[in-house]
Every structure is written in C-alpha cells, then in structure tokens.
Copies of this chain bind each other. A is one copy, B any other.
Amino acid sequence: MSVQPLRWEDGKLLMLDQRLLPRRVVWLTLRTHADVAEAIRGMAVRGAPAIGVAAAYGMALAAQAGADRQVAMAMLAAARPTAVNLFWALDRIAGLPSWEPDAVLAEARRMEEEDVACNRAIGRNGAALVPEGANVLTVCNTGSLATAGYGTALGVIRAAWEQGKVSFVYSCETRPRLQGLRLTAWELIQDKIPFAGIADGAAGSLMRAGKIDLAIAGADRIAANGDTANKIGTYSLAVLARHHRIPFLVAAPSSTIDPKTASGAQIPIEERDEIEITEIEGVKIAPEGCPVVNPSFDVTPSELVDAIVTEKGVFRAPYNFAL
C-alpha cells in the first residue's frame, strides 16, 4: 500500500510535496489555513479527493488558531475552481454545530478515513467491470497521492490487480504537469504492477493496435447529467475509446458529483500559468515570447462515459444525479 499524502501531527498538517516527486520526498509542515490554501493553489497537493481532505484539515488549523470560520472558508475555497470536492469538504465543515477545534479536527480525520474506505469501495465496484487479463489505460494520477489513500481510478486498477485481472497498465504522462509519468508511475512501481509510461499522443495508436481493453479516469467534478470534468486530455481519450469501441470508465467518490451543476457547460475550467507548458522543472523549452493556452481540465460529455463508478455503486447512462 503506497504512501498517504497527508498526516496530522502535533497540531500541524504534514503534506507530501507532490511537485518534487519522484525525485525528492519532502514533507511540508503547514501551520495555518493560509499555508494550506497556498499548498492547494500551488499544487503541492492535487487530486480532487486529496484537495477536499486537505481543505478540511486547513479548517482544523483555522479553528485551532481561533480564526474566523467564514474568512478561512473563503480563502480555502478560492484556492482552485474546478474540483467540487473542495467545496463539498468546506460545506461539511461549515455544517458542524461547533467551531470548537477538537470537533473540527475530528471531522477532518473522519473525512480522511472515510475517503480511504470510499476508495476501497470504488475499487471493489470498479474491479467487477474489469475483464480478465485486461490492459488498462489511465491518465493523470488518481492513486493514493490524489486521495487520502488507495485512489479512485488507480484504486480500481489496484483492486482489479489484487484480483489477478490486470495484465498491464499504460499511464499517459499527462502534460503539462506530467502526473502520469511522475506520480502514477511512482505508485505503480511501488505496487509492482507491470506498466509503461507513454506520451499522451501515443494512446490512439495503442488503441488501434488492440493493446487497450479498458480506459479509466478520475473526475474533478461530475455534473447532474453525468458530464465529467477531469484533467486536460481526458476528453480526447474518451473520444478515442469510443472510436475503438473500448469501454471508458470514470471512477470517483460520490462527493465529486455536483447535483447543483446541471451540465458540463456550467463547470468552471481553470486556466493555469503558461509556465506549466513553456518550462519543465525550471528548464525553458519554448522559445522566448511563445504564447500558450493552458486549460487544466476538459469536460467529457456523459454520452462518452460508459459507466461512473462510485462507492455507492456503478451508474450508467442516462445519468441523472439531480437532487
């Protein structure tokens, strides 16, 4: 079982700095909710479920410091726009009857434990959809690092692997931030699951060559109609999977479903800094003055999603998550 990205210790939140992985394993010590907001914004922690739990711990730090609850919530909510789990977690803390530090911390801990249990349930539910001997394609990082532990889409792969159903995993490197090559590869190596990293552009030709039986992605927000926002490139994979008649699954906790968002058109898509494209690890790769467009997420319309796997079960089109 691979590392968990968050740890509460002596009134502080320790956070594995995922920007430095796999080269360096560095734990940040976060003492205030502002530290947590900055860590979320800067992507020291990423992955929708992990962001949610980190924000809950951020609220525990705010309560401990006697900060104003509304102000702390607003600061954490502004850290990133697309993943709904962030707002879901803050709403849950806001709904507590008390702003007493121990109560807030207990709730954050509960959310962390629940997320791991939830991911194990997603894994079980999803593994049932994985054919024997499957070659599975995935994108970005949806593993232990993206959650409180175990993972969503990578949790499904883990569970199916534990059941002997997975032959091989292809991990799209996932530019610009290369989470598939840096983080998913790191987790797969630790779990000794056979895999290869690939350039994002290689997914189509692998599918055409019959080397992919199943594609599975996580989600940052799922609209009421099943439209799914996830890491940029996910939509392209869904189109390619449909073209090749390969099942395309989304795995996420039910907290990723946002019944208040009617369709994908209403999901705000974060545009991140150009430097994510123009530089890699501080090395400039684009020419001076090169303009870039860098949307961090895209939306996959529900008709391309064969199933949405949650801890509560597997949903299939037509999706209707409206309250």
Contacts and interface: CB of A to CB of B under 8 A. Distances in A.
A170 B202 contact: no
B202 A298 contact: yes
A232 interface: yes
A173 B173 contact: no
A274 B185 CA distance: 14
A196 interface: yes
Contact of A201 (B23, B174, B189, B289): B174
B286 A283 contact: no
Copies of this chain present: 2
B197 A292 contact: yes
A175 B199 contact: yes
Interface stretch (A94-102, A141-149, A203-211): A203-211
Contacts of A181: 277-278, 285-286, 290
Contacts of A291: 195-197
A80 B172 CA distance: 26
Contacts of A298: 201-202, 204-205, 208
Given A175-B175, A239-B243, A287-B185, A201 B202 contact: no
Interface of A: 21-23, 139, 170, 172-176, 178, 181-182, 185-186, 189, 195-206, 208, 231-236, 239-240, 242-243, 277-278, 280-295, 298-299
A279 to B, nearest CB: 10
A174 B285 CA distance: 12
B201 A175 contact: yes
B287 A22 contact: yes
A235 B286 CA distance: 24
A286 B22 contact: yes
Contacts of A174: 201
Q: Which 7 A-B pairs have the closest CB atoms?
A: A201-B233, A204-B236, A22-B287, A205-B298, A175-B199, A197-B292, A196-B293
Nearest to A140: B201
A208 B235 contact: yes
Given A170-B293, A173-B277, A243-B243, A200 B284 contact: no
Contacts of A282: 283
